Structure 1
Amino acid sequence: MQKLVAENGSPLTPERAAKEEKRAAEELEKAEREAPKNKEKRERKREGRKAKRKAKGGDAEGDDSDVEISTFLHACECVSPRRERFRERDTIVFDFRPRAGFHPTTQGESIVSKLSGVIWVDPAERQVVRLEARLVEGFKIGGGLLASIKPGSAFIFEQTRMNDGVWLPRFAQVNASARVLLFAGMSINQTEEYSDYKRFSAKTGEEKLDAPKPKP
């Protein structure tokens, strides 16, 4: 869930901030109310994917779309390891490229197995600090019916560590050529920067009804 606190570097007006606060609180309340039902649906889908991966000889416990450091180690060849100081943190840097003969069993592995680039890893916390990646071959979503991303598309992603130890996005950049559904090709050039994170909590309460008055 996201809550807008400023726009173009300027704080929201009190009226708009109040509306945004109300919207975010209602969205959070709805998510909490529907969480059990949505969790049950996710579990059913997850079990179905596990069964399919197990039948193919893959890891039944992995999530279909998870991309972790271990995903790169399985799907790619990591070469030229070196240590670098990046944004005041010690990191280990690898160049990576698709591993020959690798057969992906999850969607996450399918994506990573088509990438080459450079990855910066924080060894103390096992977090990806920065990732520079480029598609060496096209990637199709839904067999190409939903979308098809062309080779040469490039992605950059960075995370930063908060004081409480939580890692959150800091920077993301996409330069890609794709075809979506049955439409003509399109170019995507998008940059997102994240900063000035603030803690947010919303309190919601249940409506309390007075006890019925005794009949005279």
Structure 2
Amino acid sequence: MAAKWGVELTSDAVGESDDVSFHPLMPRAIGGHLSKRNWARVALLGFCACLTVSVAAAQSASESMLGMAGTPLAASPRSWAVDAAANELKDLHHSNSYLRYRMHVIDAKGDQVRDVIESKDGSVARLILKDGRPLTEDDDKAERQRLNDMIASPSSYFKHVKNEEEGRKLADQLIRLMPDAMIYTYTPGQPQTSRNGVGVEIVLDCKPNPKFSPPSTPAQALTGLEGRVWIDAKSRQVVRMEGTIFRAVNFGWGMLAHIYPDGHLLLEQAIAGGNRWIFTQFKEDLSVRALMVKTIHVHTNVDAGSFQTLAGPLGYQDAVRMLLDTPLPTK
């Protein structure tokens, strides 16, 4: 979703320039001169936003979802989405909450593990494992040089932070559309026992609302996705989402991007400390044709774990120094 869905898209500020991540991650801005891969990112963001709608349903500001009859099903399915969208907007910016964690990404670039720190300026990360092995001396030297260059060039770093903020604004816009963009229904047999056997979950199906008229190009992505979401009934946090691209979606009549049907998305998340929820697993299997030129097949598996809550905010340079001062794993 985090990238959120909770999953974080890693930009240059975090890792390498073309890393795919998802925290509503950090897509490029729409407009200007976008690369083919960045148009693909814009397209993917729309689908991610569709599933992120219910990610942060805790501490609802509106009426209790228990309803007058004392059962979660007394409330309409849409009311969950309305509350979820409102709370996801809060969680999107996670004010005054900073984490450190490991992010394991398997994609076309290989198998990489990064040490990630959320600073008050934006996220930064250090490559610590590659293809399941410790870094070579040359790999570590190159990574240290990249991070030291980041410290020495605030202007370059904040250029990428600007991209992150533009992506967050786009996610914000799409999430606000979600209660009306989708039709929500309870799946049969509600409520359900949670997957770990502790607590109760409410399960919703969502499909595009045929009466919804996308107000922008990115919002068109919301018309091609259907899915299912598992929500913890006590905390009202989403613990799992599954999405399927059931029909093709065109951006700019297909001239900007075309997302093929039969793509799949999966998100799982958990509480990382305090009231902060974040993704623990994200999978995507998608095919996108960008600018009518090249079809990009995106196969990504992202896992996050080893969460630590930071005592307070760090500037990005101090966060980078903390990464550099941490010994690398030896196996």
What TM-score do the two structures reach when normalised by structure 1? 0.63
CA contact (8 A) 1:64 1:106 kept: no
2:178 is matched with 72
CA contact (8 A) 1:178 1:187 kept: yes
2:150 is matched with 27
Could you tell me which of 289, 292, 300 is aligned with 1:182? 292
Could you tell me which of 259, 264, 285 is aligned with 1:149? 259
1:18-57 aligned within 5 A: 19-27=142-150, 30=153, 35=158, 39=162
2:130 is matched with 7
Distance 1:29 1:99 in 2: 49
Distance 2:159 2:298 in 1: 36
Same amino acid, percent of matched pairs: 21
2:291 matched to 1:168? Answer: no
CA contact (8 A) 1:65 1:108 kept: no
* Code of the aligned partner of 2:185: V
2:233 matched to 1:131? Answer: no
2:58 is matched with none
| TM-aligned CA deviation for residue 96 of structure 1 | 0.9
Change (3 A) 1:18 1:181: same
Superposed CA offset, 1:113-144 (max 9, x none): 32111012346666443221112322223442
| TM-aligned CA deviation for residue 19 of structure 1 | 4.1
2:5 is matched with none
Structure with the greater alpha carbon radius of gyration = 1
Q: Matched residue of 1:170: which SS?
A: strand
CA contact (8 A) 2:199 2:234 kept: no
2:320 matched to 1:202? Answer: yes
Q: CA RMSD in A?
A: 3.9
* Code of the aligned partner of 2:320: A
Out of 105-114 and 150-159, give the one that drifted further.
105-114
Change (3 A) 1:196 1:9: farther
Q: Matched residue of 1:151: which SS?
A: coil
Distance 2:283 2:243 in 1: 11
Runs of 5+ consecutive residues of structure 2 not aligned to the other structure: 1-13, 15-124, 311-317, 323-331
Runs of 5+ consecutive residues of structure 1 not aligned to the other structure: 47-61, 205-216
* Code of the aligned partner of 1:64: L
Distance 1:16 1:37 in 2: 23
What TM-score do the two structures reach when normalised by structure 2? 0.45
Could you tell me which of 199, 208, 212 is aligned with 1:98? 208
| TM-aligned CA deviation for residue 79 of structure 1 | 0.5
1:214 is matched with none
Distance 1:26 1:153 in 2: 38
CA contact (8 A) 1:96 1:116 kept: yes
* Code of the aligned partner of 2:266: I
| TM-aligned CA deviation for residue 104 of structure 1 | 2.2
1:120 is matched with 230
Distance 1:30 1:128 in 2: 39
More strand by share: 1
Distance 1:192 1:121 in 2: 21
Higher RCO (C-alpha 8 Å, min separation 6): 2
CA contact (8 A) 1:65 1:106 kept: no
Q: Matched residue of 1:182: which SS?
A: coil
Distance 1:155 1:97 in 2: 15
* Code of the aligned partner of 2:158: A
